[in-house]
Structures are given as structure tokens and as C-alpha cells.
Amino acid sequence: MGVNTLYNYYIVEKETKKTAGEDVNLELLLRPSRWEDYVGQEKVKANLRLIIDAAKGRGETTDHLLFYGQAGLGKTTLAYLVGKEMNANVRSTSGPALEKAGDIAAILSNLEPNEILFIDEIHRVNKMIEEILYPALESRKLHLIVGKGPSAKTFSLDLPPFTVIGATTRINPLSAPLRSRFGATFRLDYYRPEDIEKIVGRSAEILGVKITKEAITKLAQASRFTPRTANRLLKRARDYAQVYKNRNIDEEAVKKTLEMLDVDELGLEETDRELLGIIIKKFNGGPVGLKTIAAALNEEMETVEGVFEPFLMKLGLLHRSPLGRIATPLAYDHLKIPRNDKQLPL
């Protein structure tokens, strides 16, 4: 499958805009299909642009690339844009899908010259898969073991020039040897509000809906600084405006949409507020351990630490200390809870 065919799954050009009856996955429709349409992450884009231009100038593949950051920040989109810029086919898989040695061996042995292998959730590959990736990334060798016991034999297969792009929301679980095989590592940070506003405006244009500047600002404020969330809220606001107002998306339509979704003006959802409420009401503002919070929320510790806490810390509502998590004065103010004087100082 060529790069253009693959892009039919991920990117739909602006000209294929959207009537209500179109059977098009809107999330894919809203993904940028051109480098210049990718808003934000300017430092990452500048460094990638340098790597891509240099590789193209030498007629080589790019170094292996590793993207990390919160979900919804555009890691997958960037990977496919690199493929488009390099005129390279992109094969996609994920860490959980690579269970056995044969899974990764089958993919690597079938790579064509200059192809890109995109591995999402790469932090979830197991040790056996890592051991196969080491020589593949470093020297383009695939080592295969045939048989078992004393009669087992090792065969080495040369691989064509290729690039691996890994994406993860959690870089710490990646082993140091695996991380060192990537030629460049990029952290995608939360977006600036003004960049989210540009993304919402672009998405509204693609969807063919008119939206006021005030509505764009309000959506951006509730977006968790994340394009995926911003686009999700925009689609729901479009639904509300269509069903209840039968007109363009204005600030009132966004306000009602957020109320229906139980999202407040800062973008906090029910679980975010519940997390802060547990720390404040049950543990006098903290400190309290991650395991205790996860149990009280009935969530996995990995989810609490990797999904909820970074956003709350970004807003200054939560503080991590050696003793545990502490709700900040801003959290008390936001939840309209009088502050307990017995709380430990931050």
C-alpha cells in the first residue's frame, strides 16, 4: 500500500468537505494533511524539518524518531506527515499488538526500502520484542532463532533502509537501550490557547459550520490544551446548534454544550473534580498517595498519573510532593470549598 493510499485512511483533503450524510470519520477528516496545516509544536516542527530536509538532500532515510506526550497532541499525525514529506509508505502497528517474536519479525522482514514503521504505544512492547528491535534499529539486521535447545540456529537477515517512528504517552517505562536507538526524541507539550483557537477555526471551516470568535475562545478554554479534545467539543457544539438553535455556533451554544457534557470553564470533567474533591474532603487537602487516590476513584494508577494529573498540574490545581499529592489553593477556589488551615503548606 503506497503513501497516498494510506493517507486515504488518515487524511481527507479540504475539498472533500462534508455534508451531513457523508460517511466519513470526522476525526480523520480534521487531521492536517499538509505540513503547513499542522498548528503548534513549532520547535518540534523546526527540528523535524531540518532532519527531513537533510535526509532528502542526502537521498537517505531519516533517523529513527521518538515522539512522546499526552494523548491527543498530534503524535500520530506528525508521523504520517513525516511519511508524506519523505514520500514514504507508512506501516502502522502498536506495542500491545506485538506479542510474539514472529509478530515483529513478519513486519520487519516485509519492509520495502525507505518505508516507515510507526509503532504507537511503544512503551508497551515486551522485552522479547525489544531484543529484536535493537539490531534492527542499530544495524538493520534481523536476527532469527530457528529451533530450540542445543540444535537451535541463529540466522541474520539484512533489512533495507527504513525508519521507525515510535509514539508514547509514557516515556519512563521505555528502557534506556531502546531509547538510545532513536536518533531524535521529541516531547509534544500542551498547546497554547491561541494555537487551539486556530485549530478550532480550521476545523469549523472543514466541517462547514460558522462559529463566532467568542465561541472559539470558549471552546479553546475548555479544550485541555489538546487538539483532539477541542475538535470533540466542537463537534458536540455543532450538534447542539443544529438540534436546539438551528443556526451558527455562538458562545451560548458552547456554554450549553459544556453543561450537557459536564465540562466546566477550565475543561475539568467529572473525574477531574472528583479527584480534587477526594484530596480536599477526605484527606484535608493532602498529601495523599497515588495508590489511595486511584482506589478512591476506581481507576488504574497509570491512568490517574498519566491522564488526569498532568492536566491538573498544568492548571496549578494539583501539586506533587515527596509525601504525596496536594490540592493547591486554586483547587479550593475552583471547587468553591473553604480552605482548611490544617493543610500542609506547598
Could you read off the pLDDT of 114-133 as tens digits, one per residue?
999 999 999 999 998 898 89
Is it the case that residue 96 has pLDDT exceeding 70? Answer: yes
Judged on CB neighbours under 10 Å (0-12, 13-18, 19+), 192 is: middle
Measured CA to CA, the distance from residue 237 to residue 198 in angstroms comes to 17
* CA-closest candidate to residue 260, choices 283, 233, 287, 278: 233
Residue 228: active-site member: yes
Provide the grid cell at 285: 487537602
* Catalytic residue, candidates 31, 61, 62, 76: 76
Provide the grid cell at 72: 491527543
Measured CA to CA, the distance from residue 51 to residue 57 in angstroms comes to 10
Is it the case that residue 139 has pLDDT exceeding 50? Answer: yes
* Catalytic residue, candidates 91, 228, 236, 273: 228
Is it the case that residue 20 has pLDDT exceeding 70? Answer: no
Residue 169: active-site member: yes
Residue 76: active-site member: yes
Contacts 24+ apart (CB under 8 A), 294-299: 297/271, 299/271
pLDDT in tens, 243-302: 886 678 999 999 999 999 999 999 999 999 999 999 999 999 989 999 999 999 999 988
* Catalytic residue, candidates 84, 120, 195, 325: 120
What is the value of pTM for the model shown?
0.83
CA 12, 18, 19 angle in degrees (round to 5)? 155
DSSP H or E segment with residue 164: strand 163-168
* Catalytic residue, candidates 163, 169, 229, 328: 169
What are the chain's domains?
A: 3-187 (3.40.50.300), 193-261 (1.10.8.60), 270-335 (1.10.10.10)
Provide the grid cell at 44: 518540534
* Catalytic residue, candidates 75, 91, 218, 273: 75
Q: Taking the CB of residue 10, how many other CB atoms lie within 10 A of it?
A: 21
